[in-house]
Amino acid sequence: MLILPAINMAATGRNIMKLRKAAGLSVKDLQDIFGFTTPQAIYKWQHGTALPAVDNLVVLSAVFGVPMDAIIVVEADGSTQMSA
């Protein structure tokens, strides 16, 4: 049985919030950077109910000055299992 890594959405959301605050940015600042009409997507990312799309991760990486893998929290032991 192959055990695959899984993204911890809640921990990733907390990480996005931590990185945003460390960068001195508000949710409104990120909303403006992305050109979103509402802040809902950012709140969903921070609450771990949604993940940023890859293109948005690239922007977050640049804005926060960290690599993308510093934003996403991956559980190496994973909860997803596949039978070969």
Q: What is the pLDDT of residues 24-71, one digit of tens each?
A: 999 999 999 999 999 999 999 999 999 999 999 999 999 999 999 999
- Give the per-residue pLDDT at 3: 78
Enclosing domain of residue 33? 2-82
Domains in the chain, number: 1
Q: What is the pLDDT of residues 2-29, one digit of tens each?
A: 778 899 999 999 999 999 999 999 999 9
The reply to whether the predicted model has a pTM over 0.75 is yes
Q: Is the pLDDT of residue 82 over 70?
A: no
CATH code of the domain covering residue 67: 1.10.260.40
Residue 13 CA to residue 47 CA, distance in Å, equals 5
Q: Is the pLDDT of residue 78 over 70?
A: no
